[in-house]
Amino acid sequence: MSEPEDPDFHIEAVGPTELYDPVLRIELKRALVWLGTAVAFALVGYLAQPILLIVGGIVVASMLDGGARLLGRVMPGPRGLRLAIVVLAVTAFLLWTIFRMGSELTAQASSLQEVVLTQVDAAGTYARSLGFGFSPDDLMGFANQAFSSIGPVTAAVTSFVGAIAGIAMMLVLAIFFAAEPRLYEHGVAWLLPMAEREHFYGTMRKIGWTLRRLMAGRLIGMAVEGIGTWALLLAGGVPMAALLGILTGLLAFLPNIGAIVSGALIILVGFSTDTNTGLYALFVYLVVQGIDGYIIVPYVAKKAVDLAPALVLGAQILFGALFGILGLALADPIVAMMKVFLERRSVRARERAVERKTARRKRRQQEAAKTAQQDIAPDAEPGEIPAEI
């Protein structure tokens, strides 16, 4: 008798999605690569704000790490302790500035807004008296349009609560990155092939070195511009010297554009008093920007990374239009990191070219030696030493 058939027995057959044609497989792989690239670009555009917050955390972490390294020159000890001292010192300074000068700065900020609006209106009236065909309302509309058009991607964080939350997340990320940088570095390297990890570690060290020096120079420039502007304006009797000094110092973090905005505010406030005060405010602006532009910035660029001014300004315009004030602030560090990455990639490509050339030369030498050996003893076995004649 025959055994009953197994009801679960099944023979798999070829389906319509089997791809045996090698050309079709290659084309499908290419299509998937292009599709993945398009999806990646779409995700970058959609997640631009979180990505910029992470990049900002890396930049702030480089500043905290630089402070810990600098403190280590005068106070040897555990790196975690030095980093904690730097974080506490920065936090204490910010809290002191807010609670010590908060009320005064708030009153001055309200007055500054009124002064700027008044001076813009006066400038528009004077322009109409010279025959120009626009009114003060046109100037105000142009200013409002310029500010409102910056950064459509950052519309979600334009509120005060959103801005504070974004800054808080960036600072927390910076502390985590600065506390254990090797942990995250090894985590990213784990995703790379073994042959590429040594090059990746070298690139990360170079990027960290560049960011620390770039941000150190930026902080020095901010301190010089802020303190210098406050002291000179206070000595000349210019109103709201403290607020203008703080705004100048903060705006110094934005190369090129920050200097223009802070200079416009200083000059408008100066001329709101009288002509002599306005000319003195213009003199202060030129002196402070001259020191920063001709002494501090060239020295930092020489020690850190050589970035062309037009490249930095173009990146600021592009990142500011795409990502708002956060992209404007991070344009310079992002360009510096990209420059280091491309330079290291170029070095890696040259090394590989030399390695391939050396391998080809060695292979030709081996083939020539083998051919010569066969010519001397054609009947000898491979590897056999020919008998002496």
* CA distance to 18, 58, 173, 179, per residue, from 183 (Å): 43, 14, 14, 9
Cα separation, 253 vs 247, whole angstroms: 10
Q: How far is CA 165 from CA 156, 162, 172, 174, 215, in A?
A: 11, 5, 11, 14, 23
The CA–CA distances, whole Å, from 373 to 253, 364, 365, 385, 388 equal: 70, 14, 12, 9, 13
Tens-digit pLDDT profile for residues 198-236: 888 999 999 988 888 888 888 888 888 888 888 888 888
> pLDDT tens digits, residue range 261-298?
888 888 888 887 788 888 888 888 888 888 877 677 66
Q: What is the pLDDT of residue 156?
A: 39
Q: Does residue 373 or residue 173 have the better pLDDT?
A: 173
Task: Kindly state the tokens that stand for 171.
Answer: 């600072």
When pLDDT is cut at 50, 70 and 90, the band that residue 12 belongs to is: low
Which band of pLDDT confidence, cut at 50, 70 and 90, is reported for residue 149?
very low
Mean pLDDT over 239-246 rounds to: 82
Q: What is the number of alpha carbons within 13 Å of residue 79 lying toward its C-beta?
A: 10
**Which residue, among 10, 269, 257, 259, has the nearest Cα to 118 in the 3D structure?**
269
Non-local (6+) Cβ contacts of 174 within 8 A are 56, 57, 58, 59, 60, 61, 63, 64
Highest-confidence range of 38-47, 348-357, 368-377, by mean pLDDT? 348-357
169-182 pLDDT, tens digit each: 888 899 999 888 88
The pTM of the full predicted model, rounded to 2 decimals, is 0.70
Question: What confidence score (pLDDT) does residue 170 get?
Answer: 86
- One-letter identity of residue 365: Q
Predicted confidence band at 379 (pLDDT cuts at 50, 70, 90)? low
SS3 content of the chain, % helix, strand, coil (to 5): 80, 0, 20
Q: What's the confidence (pLDDT) of residue 348?
A: 86
- Looking at per-residue pLDDT, the higher value among 31 and 382 belongs to 31
Residue 374: Cβ within 10 Å count? 13
4 or 184: whose pLDDT is higher? Answer: 184
Higher-confidence residue of 173 and 27: namely 173
Q: What percent of the chain has pLDDT over 90?
A: 2
Which one-letter amino acid corresponds to residue 284? Answer: V
Instruction: Evaluate if residue 385 carries a pLDDT over 60.
Output: no
Inform me whether the pLDDT recorded for 305 exceeds 60: yes
The answer to whether the beta carbons of residues 291 and 301 sit under 8 Å apart is no
Q: CA 217, CA 258: separation in Å to the nearest integer?
A: 15
DSSP string, 144-190: HHHHHTS-GGGGGG-SHHHHHHHHHHHHHHHHHHHH-HHHHHHHHHT
In tens, the pLDDT along 36-77 reads: 888 888 887 788 888 888 888 999 998 898 888 888 888 887
Position 207, amino acid = I
- Decide if pLDDT at 1 tops 60: no
Cα separation, 66 vs 132, whole angstroms: 52
Q: Write the DSSP symbol of residue 305.
A: -
Q: What pLDDT does residue 163 have?
A: 66
Which residues, in sequence order, are CB contacts of 169 under 8 Å at separation 6+? 53, 57
* Phi, psi angle pair for 21, to nearest 5°: -75, 120
Distance CA 90, CA 41 (A): 37
